[in-house]
Chain A
Amino acid sequence: MEVSWWCSARPISWTWDPQFFPGIWIVMLFIIGSYFFVYVNSTKKLSSRNEKVTTNKEKISFITGWILLWVMTDWPIGVLGSGYLLSAHMFQYVMYSLVVAPLLVNGISKSMVANYKNQWFFIPVRSLIAYPFVCFIMFNVVLATTHIPYFTDTLKPLQLGQMLIDILWISIAILFWAAIGSFDDQSDVSLARAKKLLYIIGITLLPTIPGAFFVFSDFPLYTTYEFATRVFYEVSAREDQMYAGLIMWMGMTPILLLRLAMAFFAWSQSESKRAGIID
C-alpha cells in the first residue's frame, strides 16, 4: 500500500489499489477529537443547570458531515479529484460546499459556541460571520481563484498545495453557512428571512460562470487533468471537463433549491403565524 501525506496529482497511472494518507487521517481525527473535547467541556459547564449541550439531531448532523468530509477527501474520491478527473474534483467541491459544510455547522450547538466565543481563535471567525455579505464575497472569491487553471495546475501536484485547497474550501464553506445563522439574530425577522433567501439565491448564480467555461470550452482547461492517465479510456479529458461543468450546474442547483425551499417555507410559516392564519 502506498503512503503519502495528502492526495496530489502524480504522473502515474490510476490504480484501484487503496492508498493511505496519514495527513488526512490526522486532520479528520483532530476534527472529531476537537468536537468531542468541546462537547465534554460544555457538558461539564452545563451539568449544574441540567441543560443539554447538543440535541441528537445536531450530533447526527455533525457526525454525518464529518464522515462525508473524510469520504470526499480520502482515497478514492480525493485521489481521483486531485489528479485524474476534473468531474471528481468538482463533485468534491459541491459536496464540501453544499452538503458537508452545512451539516457540520448544523451540528455545532449555540451552547458549544458560547463557551469559546471570547477565545482569541474564535474572535475573527465570530466577527466574520456577523457579516454575511463579506462571507458571501469570500466564498465566491475562493470559488473563482481556486478554479483558475494556473492556480490549480500549480497547487495540485504538491501535497501541501492540495491540502491547502481542501482546507480552504471547507473553511470558507463553513464560514459561509455559519454566516446564514447571523440573519436570525436580526430584529426584523421578515427582512432577515428575505435576506437569507437572497443570500442563497446569490450562490446559485455565480458557480454557473466557471461551469459554463467547463461545458463550452473547446479544449481542456487544466493541464493536470489533460495529461492525467485516463481512468476510463472512453472518457476523454474534454468530456470529463464537460461532466465537471454539468456537476457544477446540475449538482449545485437541486441542493440549493432544497435549501431555498426550506428557507422559504420557514419564512412563509412564520409570516402566516404572525398574521394569525395558523395558530
Chain B
Amino acid sequence: MNIKNFAVSIFRIAQHLVHRFIFSQSTPVAYKISIIFSVVFFFTICIACSSEDSISKKNSLGADRLHGIRIDEPLERPNFILQDTDGNNFDFKQETSGKVTLLYFGYTNCPDICPVHFSNIAAVLNQSPYEVRNGVKVVFVSIDPKRDSSNKIREWLDFFDTDFIGLTGTEHDLEVAQISAGVPTAFVSEVYENGYSMAHAAWIFLYAQDDFLHLKYPTGTRQSEWAHDLEILVIDN
C-alpha cells in the first residue's frame, strides 16, 4: 500500500466516524459536544507536547548539552578585591580558585531579576547532592554601594542561603570589578520619588575549576537546567 492509498483510507475512516458520530441523528447532542471537545483538547495536548519537545531540544543542543550559553573565547577568572559582609577583604581570584563559581552583579533593591536568580539557585543547591553543594561558590557583588551596606547584603542573601558570599566596595572598586569581569558598568537607570533603579548585567557567570569563564546564564534559566549543568560541571569534571 502506498502512502497515497493509506492517506485516503485514513481520510475515509475519519469521514465515516464524523458522519457516524457527529452528523448522525441518533447520536445524543451531549456525545457530539463531548466528542468535539475531546478532539480539540487532544490536539491542544499534541501541540503542547510537540512545542515543549522542540524547546528542550534547542536548549540541550545549545552548548555541548549544557544549558548555559558558551563563551567562545573563555575569559580568565577576574582579579579584584572587595569587602565581604564581615568587612574583610575578599580576593575573588584567590578565594574562589579551582572551584565552580557563580558570579553575579546586582543589588538588593532589585525588584525582579536578582531575587529570582538567587531564589532559583538556592533552591537548586538546597536539593543537590553534597558534592555539588560543596563544590559551588555563589558570589553576589552589589553594584549599589549607596544603599547596600554589608549588613543589608548579608540579610538579603540569608533569605536564600547563608553560604552565599556577598561583596561590596567603593564605587571605584566596584567599577574595576565589573570591568575585570567583562560586564558593562551598572548605572542608575530611573529615579523615583522614593528611590531609584539600576541597570546592570543580568547574566550569571560560571567559572569552572580551570579558572576560566566558559558559560553564562541569562534570566530565564530554569532550576532543572541549573541542576543539570552544575551536576555535570562539579561531579563529572
Contacts and interface: CB of A to CB of B under 8 A. Distances in A.
18 contacts: A12-B111, A124-B29, A127-B29, A127-B30, A128-B29, A128-B33, A128-B34, A134-B33, A137-B38, A145-B44, A148-B48, A150-B48, A150-B52, A219-B227, A226-B222, A230-B115, A236-B122, A237-B119
A185 interface: no
Contacts of B232: none
Given A124-B33, A134-B34, A150-B48, A13 B111 contact: yes
A61 interface: no
A227 interface: yes
Interface in B181-237: 219-220, 222-224, 227
Interface in B5-56: 28-31, 33-34, 37-38, 41, 44-45, 48-49, 51-52
A279 interface: no
Given A123-B29, A124-B29, A227-B219, A145 B116 contact: no
B97 interface: no
Contacts of B33: 124, 127-128, 134
Contacts of A124: 29, 33
B123 interface: yes
A230 B119 contact: yes
B45 A138 contact: no
Contacts of B52: 149-150
Interface of A: 11-13, 123-124, 127-128, 130-131, 134, 137-138, 141-142, 145, 148-151, 154, 218-220, 223, 226-230, 233-234, 236-238
B120 interface: yes
Contacts of B220: 223, 227
Q: Which 6 A-B pairs have the closest CB atoms?
A: A13-B111, A127-B29, A150-B48, A131-B30, A233-B159, A219-B224
Contacts, number: 89
A151 B38 CA distance: 16
A242 to B, nearest CB: 11
A236 B115 contact: no
B122 to A, nearest CB: 7
B115 A220 contact: no
A199 to B, nearest CB: 15
Contacts of B115: 229-230, 233
Interface residues of B, number: 33
Nearest to B127: A218
A134 B116 contact: no
A229 B116 contact: yes
Given A134-B34, A220-B223, 4 more contacts: A218-B227, A233-B119, A236-B119, A236-B123
A218 B124 CA distance: 9
B48 A141 contact: no
B131 interface: no
Contacts of A145: 41, 44-45
B64 interface: no
Contacts of B31: 131, 134
A111 to B, nearest CB: 24
Contacts of B159: 233-234
A154 B44 CA distance: 12
A128 B37 CA distance: 12
B56 to A, nearest CB: 11
A238 B159 CA distance: 15
A123 B120 CA distance: 50
Contact of B34 (A138, A227, A234, A237): A138
Contact of A151 (B30, B48, B120, B127): B48
Nearest to A223: B222
B120 A226 contact: yes
Contacts of B38: 137, 141
Given A219-B223, A226-B222, A236-B123, A131 B28 contact: yes
Contacts of A236: 119-120, 122-123
Contact of A128 (B30, B124, B223): B30
A230 B111 CA distance: 9
B72 interface: no
